[in-house]
């Protein structure tokens, strides 16, 4: 018999690969950021604007790709994850294997702590 325990946060989502099946709090935001940055725009048929267009710049020269990818990542996170403020975006690696590092803080924090989320692109 499973005992249900209450989720101690208003922000949570299902994560079937974890032992308790949910993520909440800051872990929920990390997962949301990863979902946004792993989804090319137009691939979610119910939300065609969901995701990021940074994938469009993978084959461009580095000096063209880098600023455009940072812009697309920042815009996507500002639109789809309103709980955070994007402080910095770093892109490391060679096409098509990039590591995206987003430094962010909570929008409603009195003393904002800076968090880091890494996504393999």
Query: Is 6 within a domain?
Result: no
Average pLDDT, the chain: 85
Name the nearest CA neighbour of 72 among 58, 83, 84.
Answer: 58
Query: How many structural domains does the chain have?
Result: 1
pLDDT category of residue 26 using cuts at 50, 70 and 90: confident
Query: Is 66 within a domain?
Result: yes
Query: Is 5 within a domain?
Result: no
Average pLDDT over residues 7-21: 59
Query: Is 22 within a domain?
Result: yes
The domain of 59 spans 12-120
Residue 102 has pLDDT above 70, yes or no: yes
Query: Is 29 within a domain?
Result: yes
What's the pLDDT score for residue 1? 45
| b/e per residue 56-79 (b: at least 16 CB within 10 A) | ebeeeeeeebbeebbebbbebbee
The count of other CB atoms within 10 Å of the CB of residue 85 is 16
């Amino acid at each position: 018999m499973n005992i249900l325990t209450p989720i101690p946060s208003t922000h949570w989502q299902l994560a079937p690969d974890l032992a308790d099946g949910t993520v909440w709090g800051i872990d929920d935001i990390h997962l949301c950021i990863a979902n946004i940055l792993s989804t090319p725009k137009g691939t979610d048929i119910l939300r065609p604007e969901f995701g990021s267009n940074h994938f469009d710049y993978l084959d461009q020269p580095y000096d063209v790709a880098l600023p455009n990818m940072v812009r697309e990542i920042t815009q996507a996170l500002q639109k789809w994850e309103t709980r955070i403020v994007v402080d910095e975006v770093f892109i490391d690696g060679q096409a098509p294997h990039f590591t995206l590092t987003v430094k962010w803080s909570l929008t409603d924090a009195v003393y904002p702590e800076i968090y880091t989320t890494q996504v393999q692109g």
